[in-house]
Amino acid sequence: MPLISHGIEGHDEERRAFRFLMLNDDQVVLCQISDAALDELAGTKGTESSARLAQFLSLRKTIEQTASRLFDQGPILRGSVVKIFSKHVDGKAEETNQSPPSSE
């Protein structure tokens, strides 16, 4: 079952990741995407912390679809964080808010 978009926590400089929230029924699921994965999706490198929110928002649909896919692949224990790294993304997204094309 796909997760549903919920909220944004923001950039965590210490973890070098952007944190956001999704819903699984009524359960809040904490998710994060590494700075490297964000940059890979955006086709950039070394994005400043102050620009991470705009970067996340421009790629939000693709990022949330990836988080939902990882959650469904589980098992994810209650209270665990869904973590997206570069290995989980397919490189630069084809278009803003579009997922990469299917390989079917």
Q: Is residue 82 part of a domain?
A: yes
Q: Is residue 98 part of a domain?
A: no
| Rounded Cα–Cα distance for residues 12 and 79 (Å) | 18
Q: Is residue 101 part of a domain?
A: no
Q: Using the structure block, give the residue that is written with the tokens 């086709």.
A: 43
Burial of 94 (0-12, 13-18, 19+ CB in 10 A): exposed
Q: Which range marks the domain in which residue 45 is found?
A: 4-88
- pLDDT tens track for 63-93: 999 999 999 997 777 778 999 999 999 876 6
Q: What is the mean pLDDT of residues 36-64?
A: 96
Q: What is the mean pLDDT of residues 99-104?
A: 44
Q: Is 25's pLDDT higher than 80?
A: yes
| Rounded Cα–Cα distance for residues 85 and 38 (Å) | 9
Q: Is 103's pLDDT higher than 60?
A: no
Q: Is residue 37 part of a domain?
A: yes
Q: Is residue 96 part of a domain?
A: no
The CATH number that applies at residue 39 is 3.30.160.140
Distance of CA 17 to the CA centre of its chain: 9
Number of domains in the chain: 1
- pLDDT tens track for 43-53: 999 999 999 99
